[in-house]
Copies of this chain bind each other. A is one copy, B any other.
């Protein structure tokens, strides 16, 4: 694309390389924007030139993190390391703990108990009676203090 055709191999002359880099970098960034606008695509483009300077384009409809999350799911490759897996595991554990407490709370409030068998219902009844006794005792104490 230009006065002469060039082979696609490293440009040896370093100032030519630099000039070509600058021009093509602009070109590819433009292409990235265009495809995301024209076609609703989500694009992440990150370029480091030989000088170390970075250029990037991320589709406005998304974030890099989002794209990387999707990348991991689509490619099966993992980017975040074991540290994150540990955190994810902890989240799973907490969610399970949460769920079972949620269920226990419902039961104690008399909700969702049709699935319980007789033995479980008796245990629940005991627990509730105990709780009630404790609460009534405590309530009485409080009342007496106020008199």
Contact = CB atoms under 8 A, between A and B. Distances in A.
Interface of A: 6, 8-11, 17-18, 20-21, 24-25, 27-28, 31-35, 37-50, 54, 56, 64-65, 67-68, 70-71, 74-75, 77, 79-84, 87-88, 90-91, 94-95, 97-98, 101-102, 104-105, 107-111, 113-114, 116-118, 121-122, 124-125, 127-136, 138-139, 142-143, 146
A31 B105 CA distance: 59
Given A10-B38, A35-B24, A39-B21, A113 B138 contact: yes
A129 B81 CA distance: 49
A110 B95 contact: no
Contacts of A95: 94
The 9 closest A-B pairs by CB, nearest first: A110-B134, A21-B39, A94-B94, A110-B131, A87-B87, A54-B74, A101-B101, A121-B139, A42-B48
User: How many identical chains are in the complex?
Assistant: 2
Nearest to A31: B28
Nearest to A86: B65
B54 A49 contact: no
A110 B125 contact: no
A110 B133 contact: yes
